[in-house]
Amino acid sequence: MNKNKKIPFKTPEGYFDSFEDKLMDKLSKTESTIPKDSAFKVPDNYFESFNESLKGKLDNEPKVIPLFPINKIMSVAASIAAIALIALGYNWNSSSELGFNDLANTDIEAYFENNDFELSPYEIAEVLPVTNTEYSDFLSSPIEGDNLLDYLNENVSDFDELNIEDNE
């Protein structure tokens, strides 16, 4: 709607809301040397037959069935623990508990190497608190401030990607 009563013209509804996008699109397409067709094709009737092949795969998905019921395992484990406790004698005052520090670094590395967590480095970064981690802990040589600035200058095109507010 025209807010200026003196001008008798109107614009289509939502014209100004979408103007910027349209302009940007047009700007990027002007004298464009970039073809619009990506040239990727699919086999004939691929999408028509996709549902069937998906159904086949879903039906063949392996279901996880426990080899032994958990209750049975628990009772067996409890019996073994009780027998071992009596047979060996339990030292109640023992202070030698295994902790994270007892793990060899190679074991930890091997664990991460051999287990697929389906986590991208970004996802891991999201749960890793930056404040509690010193970069020097996992860098063999310290990064010079100038090198860091050069790197950011050359590689960060989108300031939002740094998520500075989130990590403050």
Partner 1 sequence: MIEEDTLVLDLKTKSKQAVAFEVLVNTYKERLYWQIRSIVLSHDDANDVLQNTFIKVYKNIDGFNGDSKLFSWMYRIATNEALNFIKQRAKLQGVSDTDYQDKLLSNLEADVYFEGDEIQLQLQKAIATLPEKQKLVFNMKYFQEMKYEEISEILNTSVGGLKASYHLAIKKLKQYLKED
Q: Where do contacts with partner 1 occur on this chain (CB under 8 A)?
A: 21, 24, 28, 32-43, 46-47, 50-51, 53-54, 57-58, 61, 116, 118, 120, 155, 157-161
Contact (Cβ atoms closer than 8 angstroms) between residue 136 and residue 142: yes
Q: Smallest Cα–Cα separation from 112: which of 127, 96, 124, 102?
A: 124
Q: What is the CA radius of gyration of the chain?
A: 31
Q: How far is the CB of 144 from partner 1 (least distance, A)?
A: 23
Copy the structure tokens of residue 33. 């040397």
Q: How far is the CB of 23 from partner 1 (least distance, A)?
A: 11
Q: Smallest Cα–Cα separation from 106: which of 97, 114, 118, 96?
A: 114
**Identity of the residue, 96 or 155, whose beta carbon is nearer to partner 1 in the bound complex:** 155
**Identity of the residue, 93 or 155, whose beta carbon is nearer to partner 1 in the bound complex:** 155
Which residues have C-beta within 8 Å of that of residue 1, sequence separation ≥ 6? 10
**Identity of the residue, 8 or 56, whose beta carbon is nearer to partner 1 in the bound complex:** 56
Q: How far is the CB of 35 from partner 1 (least distance, A)?
A: 5
